[in-house]
Amino acid sequence: MRLIQFNSGLCILLKDARQSSSTHKKSSSNSSNEFLVPYLTFRQQYSQRKVPSTRAVEHRRDKSDSGRVNIRDDDEGHLIYVPGDILHHQYEIRRTLGEGTFGKVVEVRDLRGDVTKHVALKIIKNVDKYREAARLEINVLKSIKEKDPEGVNLCVTLLDSFDYHGHMCIAFDMLGLSVFDFLKDNNYIPYPIDQVRHISYQLCLAVKFLHEIALTHTDLKPENILFLNSDYNIVYNHRKRRDERVVRRTDIKVIDFGSATFDWEHHSTIVSTRHYRAPEVILELGWSQPCDVWSIGCILFELYLGFTLFQTHDNKEHLAMMERIIGPIPYRMAKQSKKTKYFYHGRLDWDERSSAGRYVRDNCKQLRRYMVTDELDHQQLFELIEKMLEYDPKRRITLTEALEHPFFERILPEQRITNGTSSKSS
C-alpha cells in the first residue's frame, strides 16, 4: 500500500502498482481503475462523516501576514513560526529569546516604526487560561503606563498589545538578561555589594510605586528583574584564581505583571514562587503588599550570596527553615492559621531527628551567620533583610521605610531617583 497526500490535506491509501501479476493480472486500463476504486470508496466514506469542509479548514488555518505559512499551533498551544514571519502586519520575527509556561518571547522588528529598533514580543499560548491571564496583565500594564508614562518608576512599559489568531501578544522594549540569568551564566558568583545596593534600591523604588497605586506584584523573583543592558567586563579574581563577569551597568526594570493584583480584586489563596513566598501566604492568613517586601528580602540575600535562602519545595520544611534562620513563628500566627496540621499546641510540629530535620539543620543557619564580612555596609544589608523577613506583615518594614535605611545612604547621586525624575547610573 502507498500513502498519497493531496492538496486538500486528505490522505488516501492506493494499492501498489507492483502487486503480483499472478494474483491481480489486469490490463493497463483496468490497472488505472484499480487505483480509482479505493480512492472513490474512501471519498464516499469520508463524505458521510461529519467533518469540517475544506473551506472551513482553510479559514481556520488562515495565511499569516507574510503570506508564506499557515497559522498553526503545536500540541502545547505555542504559535508555530519561523524567522521572517510577520505578525499583525507589523512585527517581523527575528529570533526566539525565551520560553515559559505562558508562551514564548521573540525578538521582532517593528516595520511601522523605526525599523532599526528591535522589540521584545511576548506571544501567549492559544490556551484559555493563559489568554485570560494575558488580558489581565495588559490591563495592569495599561494602568502602570497611565500613572507613569515615562517609565521613571522602573516597571517595564507596554508598547503594544493585540490578539493574533487566539494568541495574545504584548510588545515591550528590548532589555538585557535577568539578574538571575546573569548570575547563572556567571557560575552563581554573587554580585559585589555596591551592585547589590543599586539593584535593590531600584527594586524597592519600583515596587513602592506599585504599592502606591494599590497593586501587589505577588511574583517578585530574580527572573523578573531585567537589566536594561547586561553587557559585562571580564575581571580576574586573584584570590580565587578565576575569571569573573561584572555587569557594566546595573540599571533594571521589573517585569511580569501576569499575577499582579489590585487591592479590590480577588486575592488567590497561594501566590509567589515557592522560594520567595511569605509566611502569611503559606499559613493562609491572607496577604497584601507586605508579601512583596518578604520576597524582596529573599532576593537581596540571593544577590549577595548567589544562592537561594529557602531551598525547598515543601510547606512544613519551608517553615522549619524560617525558624532555623530567623527564629520561631509567632504563636498568634500559628493559632490563626488554617494549616493546623503544621502545628501542635501553637508550635511547629517538626522532628529535627528525621532526615528532613537533619537536612534543615545542616543546610540552614542563623541569618547573620551568612555575612561574608563584618564590614559596616554588609551589616546594614543584613539588618535591612531582617526587617524585610519579619514574620508579622503588620510589623514588616514598608518600602518607603526601607528606602530610608542607612544601607542606601551610599547610593551615588547619579543613581538616585527623586520626585519622579531619575539620572542614569554611571
Residues 6+ away with beta carbon under 8 Å from 302: 183, 222, 308, 309
Catalytic residue among 219, 251, 256, 292: 219
Q: Whole-angstrom Cα distance, residue 206 to residue 204?
A: 6
Q: Given the DSSP bridges, would you call strands 343-344 and 232-237 parallel, antiparallel or unpaired? A: unpaired
| Residue reference for cell 535591612 | 384
CA-based radius of gyration for the chain = 29
Binding-site residue numbers for ATP are: 122
Quick one: cell of 368?
547573620
Q: Whole-angstrom Cα distance, residue 341 to residue 182?
A: 40
CB atoms within 10 A of CB 350: 18
392 is catalytic: no
Cα 341 to Cα 93, 349, 353, 354, 358, distances in angstroms: 51, 8, 19, 17, 21
| Ramachandran region, residue 165 (left: φ > 0; alpha: ψ -120 to 50; beta: rest) | left
- From first CA to last CA, the distance across the chain in angstroms is 72
Quick one: cell of 304?
549577595
Buried b / exposed e along 92-102 (16+ C-beta atoms within 10 A): bbeeeeeeeeb
Catalytic positions, please? 219
